[in-house]
Structure 1
């Protein structure tokens, strides 16, 4: 059967991009392991500890690309506006078991750092029903905003190639006060591990 006149198939380039987004998110979704991903080039200036946390030394850290949009509650947020603070970026989904496991630790840490130069921002992905994500935040008393990223575009394209980027769900990246990528974990975190990523950056001059 031929296509109706005036109805054209989507360009291959668009289909390929959509397919790549979907495949990348499916392959990386809800990993609970400690594996590090150093793909993206041979000039990766970071090291990974035995605990699975990768760090980049000051002076060897990369800037993020644009990570901005609308939060789950409809507010506009641009991570670039948070320079001057240590910023914790956490990719999560309400459907993800390890995300549920780490959520109480993130909520507790966010409350503990309140009033200090630390900002927490979630990146909620693959929750095509926004209400499920909002219920997750309510259930775990999440006190910080999450950018709504159902297609995973911010996660996949918010970081330069070859840097410490968000690679799975859950995963966490911490930015230093200059907005540069300083640490990453590709696993669910408890409060102790999360603090080990934040505290050294708070102490930097």
Structure 2
């Protein structure tokens, strides 16, 4: 799932205290237009269960879990689910309309269906989010407060397992805090748009160093990332497609790694193994690099767009996986 609110929810990870109760779960999934022949379930205490599709086209397995929130992924998309010992859960979905088609049945279905529906509600809020970001802070906070109250009311009236309710309540509060931080980041980013961009002078994977000034005359789309960052890696296939679409046009694609120095070789190997394109750079002081600090970057991935004269077009540009990026670049890049 690439939706912003759900990514924020998932970014909290499994850090909230979860029950230590364990038990076996019978799980099966029928996925139309599947993206992969394996389904992976992640959970508390570094839990990971890989389920291959069988000859009938069904993902089927029985395994032991620690009761609590889990996440399933087909390699391209993912979604939260709730598993506890004794559940016999069946999942059906169409990968072409991933979130919209998730339906669970069987013992334990109510909780996971609630999570799927919450994801759709969060997606709707995300669609309204960009417009809200254009409004004043008071309007944004009022909308965020209303959403939090609505989410809490739905949670408390849904008749869910008390353990899930106790897990989601702090997550709803945390989600509001993170979205407020997101608003503040967007507001700060807007202030530098139209001004001269800070510069960088970083090690180039192909040798030597590269300055921002070396790229004058072209638009520069910058991806700030790290090899350890899951959401960053998830954007790579989309970034490759965008690079291919604008190949030969007046734009350069630059990826700046904020990996720490001890992971320098890991970065070098990753670039080669994953056949990363564009200009691959390694920040001189990771998070403390002057360029990174100048843009107030404290979370990744983060994307920037600089114009041919070196001015900031977008200090928090759309992700490669967003249609908004192509829509923006189509108006600028020739």
CA contact (8 A) 1:174 1:197 kept: no
Distance in 1, matches of 2:219 and 2:296, equals: 16
The match for 2:330 among 176, 199, 204 is: 199
Question: 286, 291, 310: which one pairs with 1:179?
Answer: 310
Residues 197 and 167 of structure 1: CA distance in aligned 2, closer, same or farther (over 3 Å): farther
- Name 1:90's counterpart in structure 2: 223
SS of residue paired to 1:123: strand
**Aligned residues of 2:250 and 2:333 also touching (Cα < 8 A):** yes
Alpha-carbon distance in structure 2 between the residues aligned to 1:194 and 1:126: 25
Q: CA deviation at 1:152?
A: 2.2
Higher helix content, 1 or 2? 2
Q: Distance in 2 between matches of 1:168 and 1:187?
A: 15
Decide whether aligned partners of structure 1 residues 129 and 117 sit closer, same or farther in structure 2, where only a CA change above 3 A counts. same
Question: In structure 1, what is the Cα distance between the partners aligned to 2:292 and 2:191?
Answer: 15
Instruction: Confirm or deny: 8 A CA contact 1:71 1:77 kept in the other structure.
Output: yes
Which protein has the larger Cα radius of gyration, Structure 1 or Structure 2?
2
Structure 1 position 173, deviation (Å): 0.3
CA contact (8 A) 1:92 1:124 kept: yes
Q: Which has the higher contact order (CA 8 A, sep 6+)?
A: 1
For the 8 Å contact 2:202–2:284, the answer to whether it is kept is no
1:129 corresponds to: 263
Deviation at 1:160, TM superposition (A): 8.5
Flag the structure with higher strand content: 2
TM-score, normalised relative to structure 2: 0.40
Pairs aligned (count): 156
Between the aligned partners of 2:279 and 2:249, the Cα distance in structure 1 is 17
**Do the aligned residues in 2 keep the contact of 1:88 with 1:119 (CA within 8 Å)?**
yes
Give the superposed CA RMSD: 3.2
Q: Does 1:76 align with 2:209?
A: yes
Question: What is the deviation of 1:115?
Answer: 0.6
TM-score (norm 1): 0.63
